[in-house]
Structure 1
Amino acid sequence: AWDRAADTATDAAAATARLLPRKGRARPHAEKSLGTPDAGAHSLALITRAVHGALLNHH
């Protein structure tokens, strides 16, 4: 389940690169940020992948 969650989070983070920020810290950079994934979404994907790896190594 963690592997699927990590894959989904990675895909979702990548999809944020197409979004134009309208709120938050990225808003002032609007068009400049197009093509760059949301940092928070990317971080969550990395954390999810790390948890998956830790669980695999724990057993």
Structure 2
Amino acid sequence: MPSIEVKGMSCNHCVMNVTKTLAALPGITNVAVDLATGLATFDAAALDPKAVREAIAKIGFEPGEVK
């Protein structure tokens, strides 16, 4: 299961925003974002790490590397 660290989240609204953003990307399903660890995990039928990082940055958070 791929994951990405998301820096800058401070509340559940942030979690919902990241969840919604990742779920809107093609091929990504079952998004789970943990505020305490700052980690977003998801299933990916097709994974474009660059698109994932760009989507996170576009909504104002600092993305880590997709693992």
TM-score, normalised to structure 2, is 0.30
Q: Which has the larger radius of gyration?
A: 1
Higher strand share: 2
Higher helix share: 1
TM-score, normalised to structure 1, is 0.32
